[in-house]
Amino acid sequence: MSARRISDRVFWVGALDWDRRLFDSLVPLPDGTTYNAYVIRGSQATALIDTVDPTMTHVLQENLTSLDVGKLDYIICNHAEQDHSGSLPDIMARFPSAKVVCTPRCAELLSLLLHVPSDRLVTVQDGETLSLGDLTLEFIHAPWVHWPETMLTYLREESTLFPCDLFGSHLAASELSALESPQLGEAIKRYYAEIMMPFARNIAKHLERLGNYEIARICPSHGPIYDRPEYVLALYREWVLAEPKNLATIAYVTMHGSTRMLTDHLVAALIARGVGVERFDLVGVDIGRLAMSLVDAATVLIGTPTVLAGPHPSAVYAAHLVNALRPKAKFVGVYGSYGWGTRADEQLAAQLTNLRPQVLDSVLVKGMPRSEDYAALDRLADTIASKHAEAGLKSRTPESGS
């Protein structure tokens, strides 16, 4: 790759990582990812916005060479996490007079994570500007839009927003700008679900604030650039601000088949009552797909057998994930099977402290399900359908980001 032109004054100098399949030893990357970095050339100064993952430092260096960047005045660090800042020490060594511009909290983290010396750091306050001559950068503090030190950078003269992780996607593609497609929509939703959903309340405030800016282009730190920003802004408004959908996410694990029998019946009962269902076997599940389902679900149901009087470890993991991601779900429930005794339902419910949903009556079956157990599942399905209808929840459509 080499540097790529975005406008006469703005250039992409990042790296495509086609083959990476796992992020943070946790997040699946079915489509690879990108580490975006941007050079902005003003009449009096040149700035680099973000760097790249340390595994791709050589690519960034080559792209800066291809663009004939002989001097950098500023390196804007929107976020201290190493997939953005990891190559910062190498770039600082190449451009010894460049100052690193960041929030005060980011300065602390860069010192901690990368041992960046304080005399190379320049901290900026929320709303502060930096002149590059005929171009102006405005800095927008966005704490807890993923990390506590996150900052967005706005290029006033070109109405271009550099939002770091916000609005990003883990998608390696040959096109520099986004071509709106089901693949892109899924990549954006997966990224939102896995990384941004826990911070939805903070994101809502910043969506409102960004409404005061003219935004002609969004250049995130992962994934393609948006030349039609309304596309991704509309998706975020839907996911962050709208009510959940008439959808139940069911995550289950089975050991000897009883919990699967319950799951089969419950899925059919919900569908018969007009409730959408997405079902996930927790053995080998793609947690990204489970997370995407949670973006829309009004009800989350966890099915588990009993292991030593408690829930199966895979069900515990699912509950922990749901609690960490903080979806908009209004209702949660537990069902499953046991042999001699169980506390699975109360233990799983105790893990969901971040959600504060209504906890539905559990259906816990001793041994293989009988007719009365299936009748209890029917009553649970009745309750869910009724509550969804009372809340006026609508089914998903492609336009709502499904």
pLDDT score for 117: 97
With 60 as the cut, is the pLDDT of residue 103 above it?
A: yes
Indicate if 160 and 107 belong to the same structural domain.
Answer: yes
Q: Is residue 392 part of a domain?
A: no
| Domain endpoint, select from 198, 222, 241 | 241
pLDDT score for 194: 96
Q: Is residue 396 part of a domain?
A: no
pLDDT score for 238: 97
Q: Give the C-alpha distances (Å, rounded to integers) separating 147 from 218, 223, 364.
A: 20, 19, 39
Indicate if 263 and 235 belong to the same structural domain.
Answer: no
Cβ neighbors of 370 (< 8 A, separation 6 or more) are: none
The kind and range of the H/E element at 370 are none
Q: How far apart are CA 326 and CA 319, in angstroms?
A: 11
pLDDT score for 28: 87
Contact between 38 and 50 (Cβ < 8 Å): yes
Indicate if 164 and 255 belong to the same structural domain.
Answer: no
Q: Which CATH number is 327's domain given?
A: 3.40.50.360
Q: Is residue 258 part of a domain?
A: yes
What total of structural domains would you count in the chain?
Answer: 2
Q: How far apart are CA 320 and CA 340, in angstroms?
A: 25
Q: Is residue 276 part of a domain?
A: yes
Average confidence score pLDDT of the chain: 96
| Domain endpoint, select from 180, 214, 241 | 241
Indicate if 261 and 220 belong to the same structural domain.
Answer: no
Which pairs from 387-390 meet CB under 8 Å and 24+ separation?
A: 387/299, 387/330, 387/331, 387/358, 388/246, 388/275, 388/298, 388/299
For 38-155, strand residue ranges (E) read 38-41, 46-49, 74-76, 99-102, 121-123, 129-131, 136-141, 151-155
pLDDT score for 398: 57
Q: Which CATH number is 138's domain given?
A: 3.60.15.10
pLDDT digits (tens, 9 = 90+) for 129-168: 999 999 999 999 999 999 999 999 999 999 999 999 999 9
Q: Is residue 395 part of a domain?
A: no
Indicate if 24 and 108 belong to the same structural domain.
Answer: yes
pLDDT over 70 percentage in the chain:
98
| Domain endpoint, select from 241, 259, 283 | 241
How does DSSP classify residue 195? I
Q: How far apart are CA 197 and CA 295, in angstroms?
A: 8
Domain that holds residue 358: 245-387
Indicate if 191 and 274 belong to the same structural domain.
Answer: no
pLDDT score for 161: 98
pLDDT digits (tens, 9 = 90+) for 105-121: 999 999 999 999 999 99
Averaged pLDDT for residues 87-113: 98
pLDDT digits (tens, 9 = 90+) for 11-44: 999 999 999 998 888 888 999 999 999 999 999 9
Indicate if 228 and 252 belong to the same structural domain.
Answer: no
Indicate if 313 and 181 belong to the same structural domain.
Answer: no
pLDDT score for 2: 87
Q: Is residue 401 part of a domain?
A: no
Contact between 223 and 216 (Cβ < 8 Å): no
pTM attached to this predicted model: 0.94
Contact between 184 and 128 (Cβ < 8 Å): no
Two tokens, residue 190: 């997966």
pLDDT digits (tens, 9 = 90+) for 188-214: 999 999 999 999 999 999 999 999 999
